[in-house]
Structure 1
Amino acid sequence: MFYDMYAALCKSKGISLSRAADEIGLSNSTVTKWKKTGATPSGDTLTKVAAYFGVSVDDLISDAQTEVGMQDQLIAFYGKVKDHLTEDDIDDIMASMRVKAERNKRKGTGG
């Protein structure tokens, strides 16, 4: 989800989400919308966020889409078992998947 990427970038820069939004020229309600709806900004907003954090728009979009794809894979894999998982369980599994994906990315295997 784009919000998670935004929050991680803020954390890595050592600033609050609201401060980053203010410095980018966005309202806090925009960031709240990303969090509540899972929306990904488009056009000018993506360009501003990418420039602020020094990353490419492609990186912002692909990482957000990768996150959604990983969650879809998780749910498909666990099928009926997902009903018995807590949010903490899902967060732990997602973190593990991120580590594996990053390892593969560094190795150049992509999967």
Structure 2
Amino acid sequence: MNNLYERIFFLCTENGIKPGKMCADLGISRGNISDLKMGRIESLSADKLAKIATYFKVSVDYLLTGEETKKAPTPEGEREISDDDIKFALFGGDGEITDAMYDEVKRFAQMVKLREEAEKEKK
């Protein structure tokens, strides 16, 4: 039996939820979970893993490895991500990143999010 399936099954059991109900709640095919259980597939798509992780309030890393990823601690608690951190990640730390450039990236990301939500509503 697949380790990923075992972790999903454990989370279902721990939360008093049948795997079929989880699938119905998340819009995931029960066949995917059955295929995982029977070894016909090794994993699920990133989208499905993210849905399951959110549903059970665990990380995707936990589903895949059985271990939670820990965030870097700060004296105040969890590490805060600043706009400068995001700019560095998006632009690789190269050159001057203006506020206008950063705002354009945020508008683009919002547009992509809205487009995806509209696509989901069509289904």
Pick the TM interval, shorter chain: 0.5 to 0.7
Q: Which is greater in Rg?
A: 2
Structure 1 partner of 2:66:
63
Structure 1 CA distance for aligned equivalents of residues 30 and 45 of structure 2: 17
Structure 1 partner of 2:5:
3
Structure 2, unpaired ranges of 5+:
68-123
Structure 2 CA distance for aligned equivalents of residues 53 and 40 of structure 1: 17
Contact 2:50 2:60 in 1 (8 A): yes
Structure 1, unpaired ranges of 5+:
65-111
Which structure 2 residues correspond to residues 1-111 of structure 1 after superposition, within 5 A? 1-37=3-39, 39-63=42-66
Deviation at 1:25, TM superposition (A): 1.0
Contact 2:4 2:43 in 1 (8 A): yes
Structure 1 partner of 2:107:
none
Structure 1 CA distance for aligned equivalents of residues 57 and 34 of structure 2: 22
* Residue-by-residue CA offset, 1:56-88 (whole Å, 9 max, x unaligned): 111111119xxxxxxxxxxxxxxxxxxxxxxxx
Deviation at 1:42, TM superposition (A): 2.8
What fraction of aligned residue pairs are identical, expressed as a percent?
A: 31
Give the ranges of 4+ consecutive aligned residues of structure 1 lying more than 4 Å apart after TM superposition.
none
* Residue-by-residue CA offset, 1:5-51 (whole Å, 9 max, x unaligned): 11000001101110011111111111101101152213111111100
Looking at secondary structure, tell me which structure has more helix per residue.
1
Residues matched between the structures, number: 64
